[in-house]
Amino acid sequence: MNLRHLRVVIALIFLTLAGAVIMPPGISRAATAGSRSPSASPGAAQGRIGIKQLEVPASQANNPRDEEYIVDSLAPGTVMQRKFEVINQGSVPVHLIVYPAAATISKGTFQFAPGRTQNEMTTWISVSRGALNLAPHSSADLVATVTVPPNAPSGEQYGVIWAQESSSGAGNVTLVSRVGIRLYLSIGAGGAAAPNFTLGTPVASRTAAGAPVVRVAVHNTGGTAVDVRGTLRLTSGPGGVSAGPFIAQTVDTLAPGQSNPDTFVLSSKLPTGPWQASFTMVSGLITKTETVTLSFNGTPASAAHKSFPLVLLLVAIVAVIVLAVVLLLILRSRRSGGSGGSDGSRGSRRTPQATDA
């Protein structure tokens, strides 16, 4: 290897190392909200139709969760009825079909089954009118009846009552718009266990774009599902400033025994801190509060974990290459020097000898 070859190797090494240093870190998913199933929000119109329940058990008259959803504890062999309202908020008539369908709770979300998929609980439900026509700006009252079989298994089951409008779109495409009321039914003698949840330790970080993020783990420690809504207020910040309230990105819905983080994505203009962070988490009549000190400093966790090991690995590879090149040059130099001294016929001149005539 001559000097020109050595220069080429060194140049390639430095180009590799520079690429490792300036390589952008991986994109953080810390504050990316995954797609979630559409929520059935009673009383909130999706398009031009709306739905809301009209009856709440006397024992839960002040429970905002029971005002939104059909929530009850039923013994096997009992019958329950709930009145609800379907509303046409548009300026044209609509034709609606009304039916129950299955739902589950997973990853902090109340997830609706596709179409008219049924589960065991929804087979117990009937509605007073399966189809109806509503004039513009009108409504109709309907009744859902739940008939629990005597041999019904104990435990919580979930579903939804849909009011659905179908219309024709371009290219023979059918457009479907539906709104629904969630059902949370706890089956068993003696009533359901009391609902409850606890909060984990809040963790502060930043997104790849530098926006502060706070996550608070929510654990359902009760006997029924919970729908946890979270708010965050920041006080006693730099210079005594305050910020908020900030609303959690989603409502965490958890079945008994499930856990999921409540996530708050804040303004990137917020100072690092420290801050006094006050969390208020509510599900129905249950309210949990917690106050901790937080600071939004450091780099995004995903960026740090992805970039540092990559650079370290490339530096190690470069070091091995450099060591190999140096050893090769030393070995080659020793061989060249040894071969020059062993063969007297190479690299030497013969001096003519004078002879007697």
Tell me which of 3.30.360.10, 2.60.40.10, 1.10.540.10, 1.10.3330.10 is the CATH number of domain 49-187: 2.60.40.10
Q: Residue 263 contacts by C-beta under 8 Å, 6 or more apart in sequence?
A: 31, 33, 213, 214, 215, 248, 249, 250
Per-residue pLDDT of the chain (357 residues; tens, 9 = 90+): 555 555 555 555 555 554 444 443 332 222 222 223 333 443 333 458 999 999 888 777 788 898 899 999 999 999 999 999 999 999 999 999 999 999 999 999 999 999 999 999 999 999 999 999 999 999 999 999 999 999 999 999 999 999 999 876 666 777 889 999 999 999 998 777 789 999 999 999 988 888 899 999 999 999 999 999 999 999 999 999 999 999 999 999 999 999 999 999 998 888 988 999 999 999 999 999 999 999 987 544 333 333 345 455 666 676 767 676 766 766 666 666 555 444 444 444 444 444 443
So what CATH class is 197-299?
A: mainly beta
Q: Which residues contact 55 (CB under 8 A, 6 or more apart)?
A: 82, 83, 84
Q: Do the domains 197-299 and 49-187 match in fold? A: yes
- Domain residue extents for the chain: 3-24+302-328, 49-187, 197-299
Q: Quote the pTM value.
A: 0.68
